[in-house]
Amino acid sequence: MSKKLVFGHQNPDTDATGAAMSLSYLANQKGFDTEAVVLGEVNKETAFALNHFGLTAPRVIEQAGTEVDSVMLVDHNEFGQSVSDIEDVKISHVVDHHRISDFHTADPLFYRAEPLGAASTVLWKMYQESNIEIPKGIAGMMLSAIISDTLLFKSPTTTPTDEAAAKDLASIAGVDIESYGLDMLKAGADLSDKSEAE
Amino acid sequence: MSKKLVFGHQNPDTDATGAAMSLSYLANQKGFDTEAVVLGEVNKETAFALNHFGLTAPRVIEQAGTEVDSVMLVDHNEFGQSVSDIEDVKISHVVDHHRISDFHTADPLFYRAEPLGAASTVLWKMYQESNIEIPKGIAGMMLSAIISDTLLFKSPTTTPTDEAAAKDLASIAGVDIESYGLDMLKAGADLSDKSEAE
Ligand SMILES: [Mn+2]
Ligand SMILES: [Mn+2]
Ligand SMILES: [Mn+2]
Ligand SMILES: [Mn+2]
């Protein structure tokens, strides 16, 4: 099977990045040959999370079709939010938690979306169903993604499944949700780059 | 939670009908209030299957919005193949095995598609994941749907998962796949309505 790239939306957030790493690992366990990449430099919050779990940021790509024939999308489906040449590659998998819009395929595909707080929560369910163990670092990134998208379970999109997933992932990752989560959100909100007027 | 209708495409085939009955039962087990319906009279093959398992055909509807606010789609997603007023209702769930095209939603939804031989095979996986027992009649209709869409595993869309699902469903339904399948396909191909010229 030829190699596939796995990525989230442009201007990657922690869910776009963490869900790509998570789906890539899961797919590789199932026999696919994939690499998680990002469509732009990771933000400060994501960099904090990667650093905390001793991981390096996925490689940034500008185009997909120059490297592969086929891709997997996470945390988005709209072509306008995707890689610039999305219309030129085959989309074999999507794992998402958004509405479907500006999206179509030529062939049948694997599409898994649920109205949950984060794409990483959908992935947590997929790991449970597959009985595949989540490595510590991947669990840390999935937890970070859920905390980021739900603002520590304060956003109205938060569901009981997001909270259950976060609890399980925190125990694998070996962190306290509240204290780690606040540190991560603070790192993302770091104002040092901003002028006093902001 | 208000009632939802569950249906497959226009000109219903055995998968459109069987998958609607299957998803409706599964959703009701999970606390939803749903009714499986069809977008036209069932064909001879489907009628044979329903009769074999002692079931009555789902009710035919012309419109959905006159009865409910929200619907679940099976075995299709393209609006052009769906109920006439599909744009006026909320689509909360889709279970399918086709490409995605001519489809969009205003809100996040549950969408589950896999490139398998039948929507009923995707549903069989969902029952496995939920640990919900499949009733004998529903199993019979899901088996019939898989046999119909894969032409008894001869179609190039057939996967090992379709064969595994069919084997499990046949044991629940209490039929022999080959002999039941041939009888069902023959009933669908019944030429008694057709002129000699055909
Ligand atoms: Mn995102
Ligand atoms: Mn997200
Ligand atoms: Mn069909
Ligand atoms: Mn079908």
Q: What is the mean pLDDT of the segment spanning A154-163?
A: 98
Query: Where do we find the tokens 């889709």?
Result: B94
Chain B residue with minimum CA distance to A106: B99
List all residues 6 or more positions away from B60 whose beta carbon is below 8 Å from its beta carbon: B37, B38, B39, B40, B41
Query: Is this model's pTM higher than 0.90 or not?
Result: yes
- Nearest of A69, A71, A42, A45 to residue A56 by alpha carbon: A42
How far is A73 from A7, CA to CA, in rounded Å? Answer: 5
Residue B163 near chain A (CB below 8 Å): no
Residue A109 near chain B (CB below 8 Å): yes
**Size of the A and B interface in Cβ pairs below 8 Å:** 63
Interface test with A, best of B98, B104, B161 (most A CBs within 10 A): B104
How far is A113 from A94, CA to CA, in rounded Å? Answer: 8
Q: Which residues of A touch B99 (CB under 8 A)?
A: 104-109
Q: How far is A105 from chain B (nearest CA, A)?
A: 5
Separation of CA B74 and ligand 2 centre (Å):
26
Separation of CA A53 and ligand 4 centre (Å):
44
How far is B20 from B17, CA to CA, in rounded Å? Answer: 5
Binary contact (A99, B105; C-beta < 8 A)? yes
Query: Where do we find the tokens 């072509």?
Result: A79
Distances (CA, A) of A4 to A25, A126, B29: 12, 19, 37
Residue B198 near chain A (CB below 8 Å): no
CB atoms under 10 Å from CB of A35, counted, come to 18
Q: Report which residue type is found at B18.
A: G
A20 contacts A58 by C-beta, under 8 angstroms: yes
For B33-46, the pLDDT digits (tens) are 999 999 999 999 99
For A16-60, the pLDDT digits (tens) are 999 999 999 999 999 999 999 999 999 999 999 999 999 999 999
Residue A106 near chain B (CB below 8 Å): yes
pLDDT at A44: 97
Does the interface predicted TM-score (ipTM) exceed 0.85?
yes
Q: Supply the mean pLDDT for chain B.
A: 96
- Six-digit token pair at B70? 């929200």
Separation of CA A65 and ligand 1 centre (Å):
23
How far is A45 from A15, CA to CA, in rounded Å? Answer: 11
Q: Which residues of A touch B130 (CB under 8 A)?
A: none
For A126-142, the pLDDT digits (tens) are 999 999 999 999 999 99
> A102 falls in which pLDDT band (50, 70, 90)?
very high
Residue A130 near chain B (CB below 8 Å): no
How far is A130 from A7, CA to CA, in rounded Å? Answer: 21
Give the number of residues written for chain B.
198
Q: Supply the mean pLDDT for chain A.
A: 96
- Six-digit token pair at B157? 């869309």
- Flag whether pLDDT at B12 surpasses 70: yes
How far is A65 from A193, CA to CA, in rounded Å? Answer: 35
Binary contact (A99, B106; C-beta < 8 A)? yes
